[in-house]
Amino acid sequence: MATKAKFQAIRGTRDLLPPETALWNHVEQTVHEVFRTFGFGEIRPPIVETTELFSRAVGQESDVVQKEMYIFEDARGELWQARENVRNCFFRPHENSSVQVLRGFLGDFQSRLQAGLQSREVEHDAGQTQFYQYFSQGMEYFSKLTSNDPDLPLQIHGKVLEEIERMGAFLKNAIVGVRIGTFVALRPEATASVCRAYIEHNMQQLPQPVKLYYMGPMFRRERPQKGRYRQFYQIGAEVLGGTDAPAIDAEVIEMVMTFFDRLGLEGVELSINSIGHAADNCRRGYVETLRAELNKVKDKLGADSRRRIDTNALRVLDSKLEHEQPIIARLPKIADHLCDECASHYARVKKELDLRDVKYVENWRLVRGLDYYMRTTFEITARGLGSQNAVCGGGRYDGLVELLGGPPTKGIGFAIGEDRLILSLQEQTKAHSSSESSPLATSHSPRLYIAWMGQNAYAAAIRAARNLRAAGISVELPPAEQKFGKALERASKLNAKFALILGDNEVTSGEWALKTLADGTQQKLSESQLLDFLKRL
Ligand code: ATP
Ligand code: MG
């Protein structure tokens, strides 16, 4: 009876398997090739960073930070263990032994915390110190209540029991508030890390701008669906430092489009917009106007949009709700409220795109919710993805490096959703060739299967396999002797192109038999002829 597998990949994560991984490699190889020609170097930041880096860079208000991050406290060691002991201790206030155990654990925690604060191994700020003082007072009281001193037979009185229960629970809960280690998060995106690295490695001293690209897994705790996973992959690039010349914006966009083009991705659509900058005569003024208009139609909006009028009015434009669409269509447009510099920057970006033959549509509803995003924003959609059809999002963020503690630095970048890109490429191949699998799909099949029999043949087979593999040919060398019939059967199952038949006769005569599996034809070749023949294919 088949039983359900005990272990399964966690919801929203998945295994990428052959032959699909060949396509992933092909995409990533193309990234290296194309991005290099635009002068970008690869950066590989860590997958975990302090939570604070992301809450600053991505924004405390964003969905990503508020509900999608995987966060944990990076702490171990004796103090952490002491806190775990308190936390896991099952407290039964009516049993003296249980009370004494909790008291022991709390005492142990208290003395270790004190030592940690003194040695500065534990983060030592006003909040933590104050916590320690309150906690110590609480402990003093709890110790009196629970003392075994016969002169203080407090346990007998019901009132005291109540106090023990209350204080024990209180102290047990309170310890959770101490920061023992740092809070770290699995990265939900990588722009923050790249900016952090730019500052940390003093890259502003390098020739500007610094052009970096990355690829790798990102983590967001979203509701999984087609094109949306909890572990997904992004390919991104950032241009940091130097000027904010519109040509830079256009070239970054041109690079993404060139990359998609090189992959043969069809049905790509680029939308662009400018969101101005955070000033009263520009975006801030627009947001005020927008907010006033939104308040007039408040009653017709859904709950999310209504809430956003005050917290993040621009994001209302992002709404996908059917019934809000006609309302949004009548709202004031940001293009009419840009300051002169931003308007001119936008006009020049469009001109630069035209010069590069990059086709775009303008979408005034394409926004970013954060203050440091400014001017150019863009998004690229692809086919075959249903409602999750954005494969790339990007924009200018001149304030971000400074926000993270670096010098004022211009910045622009994008992130491509690699999973969605691959999905779209796969849908495309399906549409073109209904039954045939793509050449990439079988790229890991062996070219040559060696059907050997006999110990002399085996030695020759090992040698041939080594030489052929060194020449880049994929070879399947069966680990045990098989009858030729069986071997040929297996060779076709594995989708091999050729079978080399190597028995003692062939070894003695030096004439090896190579069978083409598709048509069954056979030819005789010497060892060196065989190598030449396969290499030339
Ligand atoms: P969406 O509106 O689709 O949630 P987003 O605005 O959250 O996208 P960005 O943070 O700009 O996306 O990330 C850039 C790209 O990364 C997206 O265009 C998309 O292709 C991809 N992406 C984002 N979240 C996921 C996810 N959970 N699973 C797969 N791909 C994702
Ligand atoms: Mg999202």
pLDDT at 225 over 70: yes
pLDDT at 442 over 60: no
Is the beta carbon of 232 within 6 A of some atom in ligand 1?
yes
Report pLDDT digits (tens) over 126-175.
888 888 999 999 999 998 888 766 555 555 556 778 888 999 999 998 88
Question: Which of the residue ranges 92-96, 268-272, 276-280, 303-307 has the most confident prediction, judged by mean pLDDT?
Answer: 268-272
Give the separation between CA 85 and CA 294, rounded to whole angstroms. Answer: 53
What is the pairing mode between strands 448-452 and 475-476? parallel
CB-based contact 195:189 (threshold 8 Å)? no
What is the pairing mode between strands 498-502 and 448-452? parallel
CB-based contact 415:190 (threshold 8 Å)? yes
The ligand that comes nearest to the alpha carbon of residue 394 is 1
**Residue whose CA lies nearest to ligand 1 atom number 8:** 390
**Which H/E stretch holds residue 285?**
helix 283-296
CB-based contact 179:128 (threshold 8 Å)? yes
Report pLDDT digits (tens) over 241-263.
999 999 999 999 999 999 999 99
User: Residues 474-478: what's their mean pLDDT?
Assistant: 95
**Residue whose CA lies nearest to ligand 1 atom number 11:** 393
pLDDT at 213 over 80: yes
Ligand 1 atom nearest the C-alpha of 379 is 18
Q: What are phi and psi of 345, to 5 degrees?
A: -60, -45
Report pLDDT digits (tens) over 384-404.
999 889 999 999 999 999 999
pLDDT at 439 over 70: no
DSSP for 204-232 reads GGSSSSEEEEEEEEEE-----BTTB-SEE
Handedness of CA 434, 435, 437, 438 (dihedral sign): negative
Name residue, tokens 């997958």. Answer: 47
User: Residues 45-64: what's their mean pLDDT?
Assistant: 90
Residue 143: how many other CB atoms lie within 10 Å? 14
Is the beta carbon of 378 within 6 A of some atom in ligand 1?
no
How far is ligand 1, taken at its centre, from the CA of residue 432, in Å? 27
What percent of the chain has a predicted confidence (pLDDT) above 70? 95
What's the half-sphere exposure (Cβ side, CA atoms, 13 Å) at 461?
Answer: 27
pLDDT at 150: 57
How far is ligand 1, taken at its centre, from the CA of residue 340, in Å? 32
CA distance readout (Å), 58 to 278, 309, 332, 405: 17, 20, 27, 15
pLDDT at 535: 86
Residue 123: how many other CB atoms lie within 10 Å? 14
pLDDT at 33: 98
Give the separation between CA 102 and CA 108, rounded to whole angstroms. Answer: 10
Give the separation between CA 392 and CA 381, rounded to whole angstroms. Answer: 7
CA distance readout (Å), 518 to 159, 530, 533: 90, 18, 17
Report pLDDT digits (tens) over 500-509.
999 999 999 9
Least confident of 84-93, 94-103, 140-149, 465-474: 140-149
Give the separation between CA 135 and CA 175, rounded to whole angstroms. Answer: 8
pLDDT at 125: 82
103 — alpha (psi -120 to 50), left (phi > 0) or beta? alpha
User: Residues 339-351: what's their mean pLDDT?
Assistant: 97
- To test the ligand 1 pocket, which listed residue (420, 421, 422) has its Cβ within 8 A of the most ligand atoms? 420
pLDDT at 193: 98
The ligand that comes nearest to the alpha carbon of residue 187 is 1
The token pair that represents 428 in the structure block:
């495309």
Report pLDDT digits (tens) over 349-359.
999 999 999 99
pLDDT at 154: 53
Residue 433: how many other CB atoms lie within 10 Å? 9
How far is ligand 2, taken at its centre, from the CA of residue 30, in Å? 26
Whole-prediction pTM: 0.86
User: Residues 523-529: what's their mean pLDDT?
Assistant: 94
Q: What is the 3-state secondary structure (H, E, C) of 409-448?
A: CCEEEEEEEHHHHHHHHHHHHHHHCCCCCCHHHHCCCCCE
pLDDT at 369 over 80: no
According to DSSP, residue 316 is labeled G
Longest CA span, the chain: 105
pLDDT at 453 over 90: yes
Identify the band that residue 443 occupies on the pLDDT scale cut at 50, 70 and 90. Answer: low
Mean pLDDT for the chain overall? 91
pLDDT at 214 over 90: yes
CB-based contact 390:320 (threshold 8 Å)? no
pLDDT at 162: 86
What percent of the chain has a predicted confidence (pLDDT) above 90? 74
pLDDT at 441 over 50: no
